[in-house]
Amino acid sequence: MRNSSGAGFMSKWLVIASWVAGGLLSPIPMASAQTPADSAAEQIRRGEYLARAGNCMGCHTTRGGEPYAGGRKLNTPFGQFVTPNITPDNETGIGRWNSEDFWQALHYGKSKDGRYLYPAFPYTEYTKVTRPDADAIFAYLRSLPPVVQTNPPHKISSPYDNQFLLVLWRTRYFNEGVYQPDKSKSDEWNRGNYLVQGLGHCTACHTSRNVWGASQDDKLSGGKIMGTHWYAPSLISPREASVAEWPIEDIVELLSTGKNGHAVTSGPMATIVRQSLQYLSDYDIRSMAVYLQSLGEKQDSAKPRKIPKMPEDVRQYVDLGEKVYKEHCQDCHGESGQGVPGIYPPLAGNRNVTMASPLNTIRSVLYGGYPPVTAGNPRPYGMPPYQHFIRDPEIAQVVSYIRNAWGNLGSLVYPDDVDNSRGSEF
């Protein structure tokens, strides 16, 4: 029952690969008097940092597979996409690509042979990446050991496998263009915008999508992550994951360690913090925090919140959940849902618990809640999975209880909701 506020930051549609991380990297400005060898080495190092910021490895590595060799399967309503090998192997990777080919893919959404790419690859966001950053990422990928790995083809359902339909889709939903700074904003804000909306492609998760799979907006207003059983909360709504009222330091702490005094990340967001965000420079993390804080809406304290009286049948259903809570949850989360600071998150007043979608809370009970292991939180406390010894009706009851106890106010959850939330962990 962890608070996964912000779940889905910096993720592609599925982000589940493990990352055996090296030391902390930070961008280093280019010196004016470098030799060509120094310049090339610096570009590769900078590209490694940027690839980590974009979490490229998260999608382009299958579980237990070679880094960047692809093979990760992305399930969507339009079919199954398989991520390609982007190591510099000549036959199965991008060994025959040049920087212009890579730029064409990142910026225009076109492959080396001119075919249009499907937006499972988030070029709709990557188009904002600058050419120097794209070249640096390409230089880094070219420096990797080539891996010979032929991945299976996509399995795209008809008629979505028609390139002409993709042309129509791009005409309607794709706006090509490098990020242009807002001169009325600070350098920090612009850097944060670039990372969140461009390289970090946060919109890929934190927005709802229409029937054609296109993002409804770029305002990070929340939505179910396509092809998964997770909900990426709105980053602008005070009822979900807005950080407008948080101090910048608290936002920085959550992004870099996976927890703070308000929230604990789990699910896809925990993966992103572990694989990507914890390695970003202090300046970049703070810039993201500044930008995200500026987006959020604040609570309207002028309107007193009224808790309606529960109908008797609803009260009886919720009371069944209270019995489950006392048996399995109370020892850690407290009699009043107050939690233990720094260890077990509170459930009373927890926006992840009360937001419109109960999906993340249900999955936390089913599969457990595990914050990321980070340098700032090397031994996180976790919650065990309960699906093996609590039946679906009891899970539905206890989630209904915590969504409506201690002043919380949320919709009820039923056994079918629990069953429908099952699926791949990410």
* Shared-domain flag, residues 168 and 191: no
* Shared-domain flag, residues 42 and 158: yes
Q: How many domains does the chain have?
A: 3
* Shared-domain flag, residues 61 and 104: yes
* Shared-domain flag, residues 53 and 162: yes
Q: Which of 261, 295, 329 is the last residue of a domain?
A: 295
From the CB of residue 13, how many other CB atoms can be counted at a distance below 10 Å? 25
Q: How far apart are CA 421 and CA 423, in angstroms?
A: 7
Asked whether residue 203 is domain-assigned, the answer is yes
Asked whether residue 181 is domain-assigned, the answer is no
Looking only at the bridges linking them, the beta strands covering 223-224 and 155-156 are unpaired
pTM over the 0.75 mark: yes
List all residues 6 or more positions away from 70 whose beta carbon is below 8 Å from its beta carbon: 60, 61, 62, 82, 83, 84, 85, 86, 149, 151
Asked whether residue 270 is domain-assigned, the answer is yes
Asked whether residue 341 is domain-assigned, the answer is yes
Q: Which of 145, 173, 201 is the last residue of a domain?
A: 173
* Shared-domain flag, residues 197 and 284: yes
Instruction: Residue 140: give the domain boundaries.
Output: 36-173
List all residues 6 or more positions away from 107 whose beta carbon is below 8 Å from its beta carbon: 123, 126, 127, 129, 131, 134, 176, 178
Q: Where are the beta strands (DSSP E) in 225-336?
A: 231-232
Taking only the tens of pLDDT, the chain with its 426 residues reads 444 444 333 333 333 233 323 333 334 333 334 456 669 999 999 999 999 999 999 999 999 999 999 999 999 889 999 999 999 999 999 999 999 999 999 999 999 999 999 999 999 999 999 999 999 999 999 999 999 999 999 999 999 999 999 999 999 999 999 999 999 999 999 999 999 999 999 999 999 888 888 887 778 999 988 878 899 999 999 999 999 999 999 999 999 999 988 888 988 999 999 999 999 999 999 999 999 999 988 776 556 566 677 888 889 999 999 999 999 999 999 999 999 987 888 999 999 999 999 999 999 999 998 889 999 999 998 899 999 989 999 999 999 999 999 999 999 999 999 999 987 544
Asked whether residue 290 is domain-assigned, the answer is yes
- 375: domain CATH number is 1.10.760.10
User: Encoding tokens for residue 222?
Assistant: 């929340």
List all residues 6 or more positions away from 401 whose beta carbon is below 8 Å from its beta carbon: 318, 319, 320, 321, 322, 324, 325
Cβ–Cβ < 8 Å for 278, 257: yes
